[in-house]
Amino acid sequence: MDPVVRGSVAYLPTYEAMQDFTAARTAATPDELWLCEHPPVFTQGLAGRAEHLLNAGDIPVVATNRGGQVTYHGPGQVVAYPLLDLKRAGYFIKEYVYRIEEAVVRTLAHFGVTGHRVAGAPGIYVRLDDPFAHGLLKNRSVTSDPIGDARSANQAGREAFTGLGKIAALGLKVSRNCTYHGVALNVAMDLEPFERINPCGYAGLKTVDLSTIGVSATWNEAAQVLGQKLNLLLSHQENP
């Protein structure tokens, strides 16, 4: 599953191409991994709530069939789309998510950054006060779903995300045991559009990129590392 660098491509045609690829797959279709960068766009998940999109302004909004709430894609962000046959790979969805997150954690480690998980909130986070610290987070979990009661979700978010910034977002779709959509890693972006939404449904959740935490890396450098890590972890070449 060698990564295919598609570079800067519009979001909607890419989304449609993923759907078409998945619909046409057979048991013999090789898996693919697309690495992309999109012009500014907000995307809503299937259960996305309108109130989490605060002010789209001149940025288009695309409704999708992935899981999760609203997120933003834009220049300076590596978006990786693994098109994987889960049945053939032998993964249940929980392990698949873990392997994608682990690829991001290892990508961050390549640049000296420590990535963290928050139980119940897919994606990868970093410590705002010291992104390079190696200590483990303790007792971080989100027990309220952001598609449920907004006040409960916001309270859960404040408690779970205190001192953290989100650096990678995850949103997936599985159709006939085959995956599309994927993970977005923030490298060197204009982060202002994230202030127009409640990222992933959590009000006040801070979003960061490698640049703002002091790491100088180009899009190509980050894409190469993330593509390599995803390829190794999703094709059984390495264990998480």
Residues with catalytic roles? 200
| Lookup result for tokens 């059984």 | 236
CA distance 13 to 22: 14
CA distance 21 to 135: 42
| Lookup result for tokens 């480690």 | 109
CA distance 227 to 138: 30
Q: Is 220 exposed, middle or buried (0-12, 13-18, 19+ CB in 10 A)?
A: middle
Q: Where are the alpha helices (DSSP H) in the chain?
A: 11-24, 86-89, 93-110, 150-161, 219-234
Expressed in angstroms, the distance from the first to the final Cα of the chain is 17
